[in-house]
């Protein structure tokens, strides 16, 4: 009986999924205007999207984990020609209204 209960507990905790959601906007550091067509890459899976005409982006995914306290952070990279690359890490679960500020490259 104890073994059965232990197996059920292990099965429940090892099959938990982590919901990861990040939504926000990318803006120019000098003008504070949104930047369109910024490549947004989810680094652990190489998933790529681009910001829309208003600089908005959103990622939603599920990963394995042992509940919210053990879910991995989501790491996003933001790249556009003429700007410095930026990488941000967000806590697991849900981040809305993230603001990513990109600086223009100086050469």
| Domains detected in the chain | 2-102 (2.60.40.1120)
User: Exposure string (b/e) for 59-80, b if CB count within 10 Å is 16 or more?
Assistant: beeeeebeeeeebeebebebeb
pLDDT (tens digit, 9 = 90+) per residue, 20-31?
A: 889 999 999 999
The helix (run of H) or strand (run of E) holding residue 24 is strand 17-28
Q: Is the pTM of this model over 0.95?
A: no
pLDDT (tens digit, 9 = 90+) per residue, 30-73?
A: 999 999 999 999 988 889 999 999 999 998 877 765 555 567 78
End-to-end CA distance of the chain: 70
| DSSP structural state of residue 70 | G
């Amino acid at each position: 009986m104890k073994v059965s209960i232990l197996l059920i507990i292990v099965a429940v905790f090892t099959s938990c999924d982590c919901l990861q959601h990040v939504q926000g906007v990318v803006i120019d550091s000098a003008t504070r205007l949104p930047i369109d067509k910024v490549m947004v890459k989810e680094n652990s899976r190489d998933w790529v999207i681009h910001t829309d005409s208003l600089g908005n982006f959103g990622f939603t995914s599920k990963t394995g984990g042992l509940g919210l306290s053990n879910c991995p952070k989501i790491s996003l990279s933001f790249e556009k020609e003429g700007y410095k690359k930026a990488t941000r890490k967000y806590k697991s679960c849900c981040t809305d209204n993230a603001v990513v500020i990109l600086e223009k490259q100086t050469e």
